[in-house]
Structure 1
Amino acid sequence: MEKTDQAEFYRRAEEFVNRLMEEAPVVATELGDHRFDDRLADRSKAALERQHREIKGWLEEFEGFNAEEFEPDARIDHRLMVGVARSILRGFEKLRPHLRNPGMYSEECLAGVFLLLIREFAPLEERLRSVLGRLRAAPEVLAQGKENIAPGEVPPVWCEVALESAEQGLGLFTQLIPALTQQVPDQKLQAELNEASRVATEALRDYIAFLKERVAPQTRGDFAVGEELFEELLREDHLLDYTAEELLQTGWRLFEETEAEMEELAQKIDP
């Protein structure tokens, strides 16, 4: 039975967004929601299976609302909620980054800590206490990556990018955090941060070795998703009506127009 209660839709949409933030705490931090700043995402197989089931349930529920009866703004919000749910479900069932993108795990750890350090939304000591929670969670996230990644499905370039990012990110744990801990007077917190940083560093180095020794030699995946799925992404995620061919032709047209304008400007500057 279709539902037409706009207030009920908004109540459920708010619950949905809150659930997304809880499941993706680093995304929450990035969006300015600091309720989960001391956590990282759980990407264990059990958690991924649960999240997959939940997102199918959310999509079914949102598609069960007849938004034709809603006010114009609410119809837009309804379309967005359906689109978000479909996008997440597509990730689980078609794109599968949890199996194919090793950078998903290392970036969760590195970005999760970096965002807390770079954004001065709270006193440093408060942010460092959240950093401590994420440092302690990092080894488990990286272990989940080693368990989940299917080397033969990983595109080689994704492995290369993940390796480069992880190797450069080591300095975050080995240099930046120890330097910042000296700025807080709480010696107990200093000691806990230094120890958690040491353990996280070891885990990240182990993950780097895993990528080099176990993943890189077996990478056979392709990052190209194919025309059909690409057009689905354009239509559903980006709300664009272009076909892949139309988008390509539009890109070339804009490139050629820009090149011509630059040449014209160059002639005016230096005839």
Structure 2
Amino acid sequence: MTTSTYDQLQQLAQDFWTWRAANQPISSDDIPRIERPDDWVPDWSREAIARRRSELSEFAARHEAINAQSWPLSQQVDYRLIGSAIARVHWELNVTRGQERNPGFYVDQTLGLLFLSLLKPSPFTDGRSQAIVRYLQSFPATVANAKENLAGKAIRPFALAALEKLVAVKSRLTKVGTALGPFLSGVNSKEFNQSFTDAINALESFHDWLNGELDGMTEETAVGREAYIYFLKHVALM
């Protein structure tokens, strides 16, 4: 049997958390404030989702290949915690599948992303200002991916909740843009204004699309008993 070392686990952890920072979705549940890579924007295209699933399988295989049974207890705990983190991604990506079932997922990747970018107090440095514009410019692609991924799979109660968050989105975002503009630096005002216009148009389009799809959506929200058992055993470690 090949001997596994704690260094292998540490390398796996480093690789996984670097990957997670680039691939973790924005969430309104606990708003994890993680450092993202430079020039990062959300990407929930079908190609990106398939890539994430493949890379997740590789992390899971690396974790499973490590034999920690003879390690000190504290290191075994670390082994289980990394396993829990990997299982959490499986839960999100392959079990609850918010990117395919929950329209609110994409409200988080757009409005939630903008909200997070505004949480920190001033100053709005050049880099921070440019990131805000970049996030706004990502809205149209995110909404296009949302429509493609949710088609025929979205759940009606989740869609209704998302629609509530998109009520009067044009007037609300217009107020944000008007108030925010004077504080930004290092960005072209025309580009900034256009990014808000395009973001608003994308979200209004998403609102209208969801309304048009409601009648064909399922009401079933539960993922089932076996899925919850998986969560308790592998993610919550109970």
| Normalised TM-score (structure 1) | 0.78
1:11-22 correspondence runs (5 A): 11-22=11-22
* 2:37 paired with 1:35: yes
The farther-off stretch of 7-16 and 63-72 is 63-72
Q: Which residue number corresponds to residue 228 of structure 1?
A: 226
Q: Which residue number corresponds to residue 174 of structure 1?
A: 174
Q: Which residue number corresponds to residue 191 of structure 1?
A: 190
Q: Deviations over 1:62-82 (max 9, x none)?
A: 111111233333222211221
- Structure 2: gaps (5+ residues): none
Give the 3 Å change call, closer, same or farther, for CA 85–34 of structure 1 in structure 2.
Answer: closer
Q: Structure 2: how far apart are the matches of 1:74 and 1:171?
A: 53
3-state DSSP of counterpart to 1:4: coil
Runs of 4+ residues over 4 Å off in structure 1: 168-172
Q: Structure 1: how far apart are the matches of 2:2 and 2:227?
A: 29
Q: Structure 2: how far apart are the matches of 1:3 and 1:99?
A: 40
Give the 3 Å change call, closer, same or farther, for CA 184–87 of structure 1 in structure 2.
Answer: closer
What displacement does 1:3 show? 4.8
1:100-119 correspondence runs (5 A): 100-119=101-120
- 8 Å CA contact retained: 1:25, 1:39: no
Q: Structure 1: how far apart are the matches of 2:75 and 2:168?
A: 44
Q: Which one has the bigger helix percentage?
A: 1
Q: Structure 2: how far apart are the matches of 1:233 and 1:168?
A: 37
Q: Structure 1: how far apart are the matches of 2:195 and 2:103?
A: 22
What displacement does 1:235 show? 2.4
Matched to 1:10, the amino acid is Q
Q: Which residue number corresponds to residue 9 of structure 1?
A: 9
Q: Deviations over 1:166-219 (max 9, x none)?
A: 226555532113211112465x53332211011110011001100001x21111
Give the 3 Å change call, closer, same or farther, for CA 118–31 of structure 1 in structure 2.
Answer: closer
What displacement does 1:165 show? 1.5
1:205-224 correspondence runs (5 A): 205-213=204-212, 215-224=213-222
Q: Structure 1: how far apart are the matches of 2:166 and 2:40?
A: 19
- 8 Å CA contact retained: 2:12, 2:62: no
Q: Deviations over 1:237-268 (max 9, x none)?
A: 2223xxxxxxxxxxxxxxxxxxxxxxxxxxxx
Percent pairwise identity: 23
Matched to 1:167, the amino acid is V
Q: Structure 2: how far apart are the matches of 1:171 and 1:59?
A: 45
- 8 Å CA contact retained: 2:169, 2:204: no
Q: Which residue number corresponds to residue 52 of structure 1?
A: 53
- Structure 1: gaps (5+ residues): 241-271
Matched to 1:189, the amino acid is N
Give the 3 Å change call, closer, same or farther, for CA 204–74 of structure 1 in structure 2.
Answer: same
Q: Structure 2: how far apart are the matches of 1:180 and 1:94?
A: 38
Give the 3 Å change call, closer, same or farther, for CA 78–170 of structure 1 in structure 2.
Answer: farther
Give the 3 Å change call, closer, same or farther, for CA 34–21 of structure 1 in structure 2.
Answer: closer
1:155-170 correspondence runs (5 A): 155-167=155-167, 169-170=169-170
Q: Structure 2: how far apart are the matches of 1:43 and 1:3?
A: 38
Q: Structure 2: how far apart are the matches of 1:189 and 1:73?
A: 52
- 8 Å CA contact retained: 1:25, 1:41: yes
What displacement does 1:149 show? 0.5
Q: Which has the larger radius of gyration?
A: 1
- 8 Å CA contact retained: 1:83, 1:236: yes
More relative contact order, 1 or 2 (CA 8 Å, 6+ apart):
2
Q: Which residue number corresponds to residue 24 of structure 2?
A: 24
